[in-house]
Amino acid sequence: MTLACGFGSLCDNVESTNSPGLTNQAKASTMRYVPTPLLLFWLVLSLFAGSLFARGMFAAIGDQHTASADGEPSFSISSNRDDDEVTVNVDDDTVLFSLRSPRGIGRATIERNDEHWPPKIKLRLYLNGLEKFKLVCGDMTLEASIVSQTGKFRVWKGGSEDSPLDRESPFWIKLDAFDEDGKPIALKPPVHGYFELQLPKAAFAENAKTITLHWIDFYR
């Protein structure tokens, strides 16, 4: 008997059952398969490849499940100082960026990974003062300042510090101050407290991909 095999070596390991004098039972018992190193190599390779494929499938399913189960907006955040820290908290339609800056001066860039920014964006700045704040969103620039001695708060747009905005402006930044226990206080530098800014929706009308924050607690 001659067999045509795709791998070649398989045929070399099947003994012919056409030898004279063998019964059918003897022929059946004589025909046996002896694996060669080449065939063993292909078998091991096939098993290994199958294992990798299965792992990839399960990993992909797991990633899809995690993304769909999470469903919260995601952001990429970077700062110009290693000791600055920005954390994100999402609650319904509001995202809160909490910023801690030991040196009190710095810059951070936040990039949205989703198609749009959330409807409400708040900043929580753990600073003892806020003599300068700047938001750059696309071609739009908003700046704000709190006078440390009096607590006077001003907001201006496009670098026009001499033309401050009023509270009725769609670009007005709502600002509150809290002590370390989260209780509201006057707009003066909070000791171990924080400032909370609600950024105006109008600032995100162009849906810029990134925003940049600049802050200075006190001018040196």
Look up the pTM and report it.
0.66
DSSP 33: B
Kindly report, residue by residue over 6-29, the tens digit of the pLDDT. Answer: 434 444 443 444 444 444 444 444
E-only strand ranges, the chain: 75-79, 85-91, 94-100, 105-112, 120-126, 132-137, 140-146, 153-157, 174-178, 184-185, 194-199, 210-216
Kindly report, residue by residue over 101-136, the tens digit of the pLDDT. Answer: 999 999 999 999 999 999 999 999 999 999 999 999
Q: What share of the chain is helix, strand, coil (3-state, %, to 5)?
A: 20, 35, 45
Q: How far apart are CA 171 and CA 168, in angstroms?
A: 8
Tokens for 19?
Answer: 């030898």
